[in-house]
Copies of this chain bind each other. A is one copy, B any other.
C-alpha cells in the first residue's frame, strides 16, 4: 500500500517542518513514489495533511483502548477503583509520550495545538475527547470536594506531567543529564508521575 507509506512519511515531514515547510516532492521521494501519487490518493497537499491527522487519531485510539475501557467501567465504582483506573490511563499516556513511536505524532499534534486547523478537530473528537472526558469523570469521583470546573482543570494538569516528556523532551534530557530518555529514566519518571498523581487524587477535603 503506497498510500500508507505516504501517510507515515507525511506525518514525519509535516511534524518536523510544518505544513508549509514540508514538501510534497520530498514526501513522495521518501515514500518511493512520484509526487503526483499524492494528488491521486489524497487530492493534494492539504488532503494528505488531513489524512495524516486522521491516521494519528486512529493510532492513539487503538493504543489507549484497553485502559480507557477499564476506566469507563470504574467511573461508577468505588473511589479507590476510580483512582487506580485513572492512574492506569495516565500511565498509558506517559508510556506513549516516552515511546519513540509517538515522536512523529507528537510533533504533528504539538503544531496543531499552537495553531489549530481543521486537522485538530479530527484529532480531538476522534481520539482526545473520549479519553479526556472519561478522565474528568474519574477525577470527579476521586475528588468529590472539587466542582466541575476544578475537576476539568485537574484532569488537564495531570496530563501535563506526562506531556512534558514529549513537549519538553530536550529540556527533560538536559535536566536529567541524559542523551535520551532510556528505559531506566522511563521507569523513574513513570513512578514519579504515579506518585504525584496519587498524591493529588488522594487529597481529602479539610
**Residues in A lying within 8 Å of B, measured CB to CB:** 15-22, 103, 106-107, 110, 112-116, 120, 124, 128-129, 132, 136, 149-150, 152-157, 159-172, 174-177, 188-189, 192-193, 195-196, 199-200, 203
Contacts and interface: CB of A to CB of B under 8 A. Distances in A.
Nearest to A136: B175
Contacts of A159: 164, 168
A164 B176 CA distance: 20
A174 B19 contact: no
A133 to B, nearest CB: 8
Contacts of A153: 176, 188-189, 192
Contact of A167 (B20, B163, B188): B163
Which secondary structure characterizes the binding site on chain A? helix
Contacts of A169: 113-114
A171 B18 CA distance: 19
A161 B152 contact: no
30 contacts: A16-B114, A19-B21, A103-B114, A113-B169, A113-B171, A114-B170, A116-B170, A120-B170, A124-B171, A129-B174, A132-B174, A136-B175, A155-B175, A156-B172, A156-B189, A157-B161, A157-B192, A157-B193, A157-B196, A159-B164, A160-B163, A160-B164, A160-B168, A163-B167, A167-B167, A167-B168, A196-B196, A196-B200, A199-B199, A199-B200
